[in-house]
Structure 1
Amino acid sequence: MSTGTRARIITAATELMRRQGYGATTVKELTVTAGAPIGSLYHHFPEGKEQIAAEALRTSGAAYIQLLPLLMDPYDDLREAVPAAFTAAAADMEQSGWMNMCPVGTVAGEIADSRPALREVAAEVVESWIEQGTDYLVGRGVRRVPARELMVAMLGALEGAFILSRTLHSPEPLHAAGRAMSAQLEIALRAGAETSDDAPSHTGRANDATRR
Structure 2
Amino acid sequence: MANDTRTRILETTALLLRQRGYHGTSLNDILGASGAPRGSLYFHFPGGKDQLVIEVTRDSVADVTKRLGETLAAENDPAVAVRHIYHSVGRMLEDNDFSLGCPIAPVVLDSPKDVPELAELCRSAFGQWIGLLQQAFVRAGVPEHRAHALALLVESSLEGLMVIARATRDRAPVLVVADEVAALIETAVLAGGETRRHAGATA
In the alignment, is the contact (CA less than 8 A) between 1:99 and 1:166 conserved in 2? Answer: yes
Give the corresponding residue for 1:42: 42
Deviation per CA, 1:91-144: give whole Å up to 9, x if none. Answer: 331232112232211221222667655322211222122233333444555454
Residue 155 in structure 1 maps to residue 155 in structure 2: yes
Give the corresponding residue for 2:10: 10
Give the corresponding residue for 1:178: 178
Equivalent residues in 2 for 1:3-152, closer than 5 Å:
3-71=3-71, 75-111=75-111, 117-139=117-139, 142-152=142-152
Write 1 or 2 for the structure with the bigger share of helix.
2
Deviation, 1:181, is 1.7
Moved over 6 A (4+): none
Q: What is the root-mean-square deviation of aligned Cα atoms in Å?
A: 3.0
In the alignment, is the contact (CA less than 8 A) between 2:19 and 2:100 conserved in 1? Answer: yes
Deviation, 1:179, is 2.7
Residues 14 and 165 of structure 1: CA distance in aligned 2, closer, same or farther (over 3 Å):
same
Residues 175 and 3 of structure 1: CA distance in aligned 2, closer, same or farther (over 3 Å):
same
Structure 2-normalised TM-score? 0.78
Single out whichever of 139-148 and 83-92 deviates more from structure 2. Answer: 139-148
Letter in 2 for 1:79: A
Residues 77 and 19 of structure 1: CA distance in aligned 2, closer, same or farther (over 3 Å):
same
SS at match of 1:170: coil
Residues 114 and 11 of structure 1: CA distance in aligned 2, closer, same or farther (over 3 Å):
same
- The count of corresponding residues between Structure 1 and Structure 2 is 196
Letter in 1 for 2:90: A
CA distance in 2, matches of 1:24, 1:122: 18
Structure 1-normalised TM-score? 0.75
Please identify the structure whose Cα radius of gyration is greater.
2
Deviation per CA, 1:125-180: give whole Å up to 9, x if none. Answer: 22122233333444555454433332222111111100011011122321233133
Deviation, 1:84, is 3.1
Residues 121 and 77 of structure 1: CA distance in aligned 2, closer, same or farther (over 3 Å):
closer
Unaligned runs of 5+ in 1: 197-212
In the alignment, is the contact (CA less than 8 A) between 1:108 and 1:122 conserved in 2? Answer: yes
In the alignment, is the contact (CA less than 8 A) between 1:154 and 1:181 conserved in 2? Answer: yes
In the alignment, is the contact (CA less than 8 A) between 1:130 and 1:152 conserved in 2? Answer: yes
Residues 116 and 151 of structure 1: CA distance in aligned 2, closer, same or farther (over 3 Å):
same
